[in-house]
Amino acid sequence: MKADFHDRKRKGDEDHPPVREVTVRLSQPFDLEQSTECGQAFRWIREGEHYYCVIGERVLRLRQSGSNLHAAVHPDVGYFPTLELVGDVFRFDDKVPDILRELSEDRIIRKAIRSHYGLRLIRQDPWECLISYLCSINSNIPRIKGDVERMSVRYGHPMDFDGRRFYTFPSVDALAGAGEEELRSMKLGFRAKYVLSAARRIRDEGVDLLGFRKRGYEESFAELCTYFGIGPKVADCILLFAMDKLEAFPVDRWVRRGIEILYFNGQKMTDKKVREWSRSHFGRYAGYAQEYLFYGARLKELAAGFTNRTSSA
């Protein structure tokens, strides 16, 4: 990716400090809307042409115009840190053209890539991702977003930017110090005990979640599955979206059904079989394959198309 620094410094005041934008000239496939709205991350907010997300202790604001991505960070960190933050979040270190070329050997994924060219994985903070996906158990995207936001409002720190208040994600200590009933009062339901257990274990054992990025997939998967509430699907989501394990292939009932229809003519399979087959079939970039195959409502679209092709063959 190439970047230019445009000094679009708004006249600031005490409540609204000046903002500078970095313009990234995109040299790889990238679609901001699809990448932030596909359901892999839960804190992105769209307002008009801008997308906002709290990343650590800062707010990232993005706008895409063709092959240019305009980024601003509050509080301002300057040119290179802004560029590095954007590149890290959207995995500009991945050689996406090569990844897509390799995956396109599969004819079904080839169609999905053509339909949603520019969809990228988002690299998330491991702690926030782990808690977010514990909140995802037997839930849906609007509810997960609500759960994460309520915890942030209660236990995070406020930041004002562009006339809107944002909140940092709670620290490990903040959630570990909460009570289960207090978490339940924020509509977490049965997930409250999972969140509290994970926070206290990570605090008490001094778990280095970033260290998982340096460990192998199988070892990381096995350890995550020892956490209360984390099963194979949630473990794979955390590994894919936060631990740099691109071979992870999260499987829920919709993904399982999709694989059954698209690749096995409707033959019934277990989640474990689908996970094992998918990781073997799609290989080192199975996570990218999963994201392209099951973005939004594409499952029904692809399944219908596949059925039509096989019936007319």
How much is the pTM? 0.91
| All structural domains of the chain | 2-93 (3.30.310.40), 126-242 (1.10.340.30)
Residue tagged 């970047």 (tokens): 3
Q: Which two tokens stand for residue 268?
A: 């019934």
Q: Which residues, 6 or more positions from 286, have their beta carbon under 8 angstroms from its beta carbon? A: 246, 247, 248, 249, 278, 279
Give the pLDDT score at 301. Answer: 56
Tally the C-alpha atoms within 13 A of residue 243's C-alpha that lie toward its C-beta: 28
Grouping H, G, I as helix, E, B as strand and the rest as coil, residue 17 is coil
Buried b (16+ CB within 10 A) or exposed e, 150-187: bbbebbbeebebeeeebbbbbebebbbebeeeebeebe
Amino acid 52: pLDDT? 98
> What is the C-alpha to C-alpha distance for residues 270 and 278, in angstroms, rounded to an integer?
12
- One digit per residue, the tens of pLDDT, for the chain of length 313 reads 554 444 454 444 445 556 789 999 999 999 999 999 999 999 999 999 999 999 999 999 999 999 999 999 999 999 999 999 999 999 999 999 999 999 999 999 998 899 899 999 999 999 999 999 999 999 999 999 999 999 999 999 999 999 999 999 999 999 999 999 999 999 999 999 999 999 999 999 999 999 999 999 999 999 999 999 999 999 999 999 999 999 999 999 889 999 999 999 999 999 999 999 999 999 999 999 999 988 854 555 555 555 555 554 4
Six-digit token pair at 214? 């340096």
Catalytic residues: 233
Query: Quick check: 233 and 271 in contact, CB under 8 A?
Result: yes
